[in-house]
Amino acid sequence: MSFNDWDDNEDEFDREDNHNGYFDKLRNREKEMLKINMVRHFEFPPSLEEWREFFGEPTDVDLTDITQAYLKQYMHYGDKHITEFVDAFDINWVRYLLSYNESVEEYELCAIIKSHIDVNTKSHKQSIGERRKN
């Protein structure tokens, strides 16, 4: 029996098409568990680039869920730690969430998110100015 004869014994699961479907389901479950942990356990998402690498472009459902997780975490940490919070969440994510919420006309959420970006930017400019003085 040659090595090539083993190809005849493959079952349906071993074919590449089915592997892709299986791993897509697994990836979606991982993504949903991550979003649940962001809400329940105040975890931060991977960077936007890593998200795209792992899960592809964020969907509208993903962005709605991540916005809600962002706001819940903000309510938990409060106004005193906005700069650190935005840095931990990743400024690229926060800007992406702002852009998404503008597109779906959630202007109240946009106002909150925009104010966080402004506080973060101002804080970083101040710290850069202080470093230059020293």
Does 129 have pLDDT greater than 80?
no
Contact between 66 and 82 under an 8 Å Cβ cutoff? The reply is no
* 26-85 confidence digits (pLDDT tens): 999 999 999 999 999 999 999 999 999 999 999 999 999 999 999 999 999 889 999 999
Please check the confidence at residue 128 and state whether its pLDDT lies above 90.
Answer: no
pTM: 0.79
Q: Is 130 helix (H, G, I), strand (E, B) or coil?
A: helix
At residue 6 the predicted structure's pLDDT band, cuts being 50, 70 and 90, is low
DSSP 11-30: -GGGSHHHHHHHHHHHHHHH
Please check the confidence at residue 9 and state whether its pLDDT lies above 60: no
pLDDT(10) > 70? no
Q: How far is it, in rounded angstroms, from Cα 130 to Cα 18?
A: 57
In the chain, where the domains are located: 12-133
What six digits make up the tokens of 105? 């006309």
Residue-by-residue DSSP string for 29-89: HHHHHHHHHHHHS-PPPPPHHHHHHHH-SPPHHHHHHHHHHHHHHHHHH-GGGHHHHHHHH
Per-residue pLDDT at 2 exceeds 70: no
List CB contacts of 101: < 8 A, sequence separation 6 or more.
67, 107, 109, 110, 113
The pLDDT value given to residue 22: 87
Listed residue (8, 13, 88, 96) closest to 59, CA to CA: 96
Q: Name the residue with higher pLDDT: 129 or 75.
A: 75
Q: What pLDDT score was predicted for residue 24?
A: 87
